[in-house]
Structure 1
């Protein structure tokens, strides 16, 4: 749950303002970048399986389109808020800026609990959402993708609905699709692979090797489970994993392939085990690397002093509050921020969009090689910028990520 009093949008706006100030931009630039250029709020009627109609609220925020069309995922979650969606759209812009992608950031969300919905109900909701936002999305306007509790099947339904509305096939409208519908090789593991590459490069900076590291992975959905599996295959010792029900911890290492086989489609696995610890206890267990891969504000002022990791790699969006970030930096913990570490997903989504537009598709080896090159370059760029300006890696990432938008707006004559 979020730390008391924390607002992800306010925290993000403060960090953007700090980054722009350090780069020498004036308040007008910040005024344009502190909020999305447009936000849609939609109401979606869905006929439920028992015959009654339920009305869901959804959002789509497009942060900035000075560089190109906007890009960002759609999440289905009961705790979706407008402020959260706005903040996530800003983070997407930062990721695109850090990785030199020709996009601005966007984000979408629907207030719902798909864990309590049948597949037909989820399909009707997905299609209804696309109908509601169809005027502001498209392959040259705004390109959605999967996020929390959404997946290739939901992307396929959305793609099909958009094609019906537009009356032509448009694979570049959405990414994270199944391969047979124009998805990209490597997309399913892209965010996780990017996290692992970022972790490896951070470890190298500290003269450590991946195979010698003890790792905790908080969250066992698509990203968390794939991170754990990739690390297990690389020889790292994954000593803890957690889901919404709590955590499993074994200092001798867990059987990750077995746990991955047992988890359900929402990343739940601990319900089948005894000796489950709380998520609060889980985060403070002894380890070398902590990878938060769940939701926002998991590391906060109340627990940051007890984190035992020497490296934190943010696979989730916004898992660390500003107060916790300051505490961790003062303690010498190397924190690789979300806008850097988990940007493998949007990077390979960009690859998918490029392949859709070209009608020419790459092998998984080509996709992974291109992702590796971009991740390594970006990690070292951020860490070098942090050293040059004597700031935290997070602030360095905001400085690198926001600059292209400030410059694009200047060239366009917006500021």
Structure 2
């Protein structure tokens, strides 16, 4: 199984990052091995009846990286390219992210290899309910708490809640986060990840002496994370000059009206054709001059081929794993880009998921203002911890963030000991 995981480029990348931080920490080999490899790798078949009457079998995955610090936490994605290796890498990153933020969770991730864009609402519901049924022995509020990710949303979480609660015989809202508010979801959860990305960018601007109202940003990806990051940055006064998604990329050096673009995307399902900007090659957009570049889509988009050409002051990783180790080496050698690593930059989502889980356990609801204020307080603390650790130890922000997270997990592993 180790060899199978290491054959996946995304897992290999996560492992390379782990090894670098573990080397710095000089982890004892026994603890190091236990921290690196996931506790559970679950693969299930998910058969459903399509609207045509035909039966189709999909493959679903759930990886629980560690439960040493609490239940695992992580998203569920529906995407054609989902693999077990990718899910395992995302679960590993989530583990360090939760530890860095001081959340009582381990890392988890799940996915189904499918294309939700080609499925009807009923087919998607059937897929979700069948997957949840297969996962029942492995999930629970104190074991594994899912959340939305690529290709899933609040409705998906509502279906999971219904399946689990039906089997439990009573409503169990704490089984997932990212639910609709009327089903005891949390105010502020929908915009949490993007809001956090924008907030950490302003912290980086502050360190660099950049005025928010005179800054520019380019955002790759206009899904939940990218759109809310764009909206919040615009509210801070930052001018958004470039935005892309799966349909193409648009560019306007005078600034893109984010609210109008949201309306356009709602009508056309993509940024392409937006009248308030010109088309630009998506790859060329990434290397245009800007104060903040926000990769907020898939993994490995910043690589050896474009890292030397970047013209941003801040690289804010809204997505998980958008920068390859090869690109990291180039960026570190350049020394002119302030990196906000993914385990810090996009931690707003899991942090507010934690808030939602706590509210469900307490049977008490917080206001949106309470949620976002608490989020910013926790992000500020983590940002300063990473920044000062990196400065004190003369290391990159990524190694600093990973080292802090891995150290917390390793301490718990060592303290609990190894069950004979």
TM interval, short-chain normalised: over 0.9
| Aligned equivalent of 1:385, options 386, 389, 392 | 389
Equivalent position of 2:330 in the other structure: 327
Residue 276 of structure 1: SS of its match in structure 2? Answer: strand
Equivalent position of 1:314 in the other structure: 317
- Asked whether the 8 Å contact 1:73–1:106 carries over to 2, the reply is yes
Instruction: List gaps (5 residues or longer) in structure 1.
Output: none
TM-aligned CA deviation for residue 268 of structure 1:
2.2
| Aligned equivalent of 2:222, options 211, 220, 223 | 220
> C-alpha distance in 2, partners of 1:279/1:30?
39
Could you report, residue by residue, the CA deviation over 1:266-309 in whole angstroms, capped at 9, with x for unpaired residues? Answer: 96221556842222111111211100001000000001111110
Equivalent position of 1:229 in the other structure: 231
Q: How does 1:295-314 map to 2 (within 5 A)?
A: 295-314=298-317
> C-alpha distance in 1, partners of 2:14/2:169?
39
Q: How does 1:286-297 map to 2 (within 5 A)?
A: 286-297=289-300
Cα separation, partners in 2 of 1:108 and 1:266, compared to 1, 3 Å: farther
- Asked whether the 8 Å contact 1:221–1:267 carries over to 2, the reply is no
Give the aligned length.
411
Could you list the structure 1 runs, at least 4 aligned residues long, displaced by more than 3 angstroms after superposition.
Answer: 264-267, 271-275
| Aligned equivalent of 2:34, options 32, 50, 57 | 32
RMSD between superposed Cα atoms in Å = 1.5
TM-aligned CA deviation for residue 30 of structure 1:
1.8
Instruction: List gaps (5 residues or longer) in structure 2.
Output: 1-6
Equivalent position of 2:3 in the other structure: none
- Asked whether the 8 Å contact 1:45–1:55 carries over to 2, the reply is yes
Equivalent position of 1:9 in the other structure: 11
- Asked whether the 8 Å contact 1:6–1:321 carries over to 2, the reply is no
TM-aligned CA deviation for residue 168 of structure 1:
1.9
> C-alpha distance in 2, partners of 1:9/1:33?
14
> C-alpha distance in 1, partners of 2:157/2:105?
20
TM-aligned CA deviation for residue 245 of structure 1:
1.9
Q: 1:342 aligned to 2:335?
A: no
Residue 380 of structure 1: SS of its match in structure 2? Answer: helix
Q: How does 1:128-143 map to 2 (within 5 A)?
A: 128-143=130-145
Q: How does 1:365-376 map to 2 (within 5 A)?
A: 365-376=369-380
TM-score (norm 1): 0.96
TM-aligned CA deviation for residue 13 of structure 1:
1.2
Q: 1:89 aligned to 2:86?
A: no
Q: 1:285 aligned to 2:288?
A: yes
Could you report, residue by residue, the CA deviation over 1:355-388 in whole angstroms, capped at 9, with x for unpaired residues? Answer: 0000011111110110010001101110111111
Residue 49 of structure 1: SS of its match in structure 2? Answer: coil
- Asked whether the 8 Å contact 2:45–2:60 carries over to 1, the reply is yes
Equivalent position of 1:110 in the other structure: 112
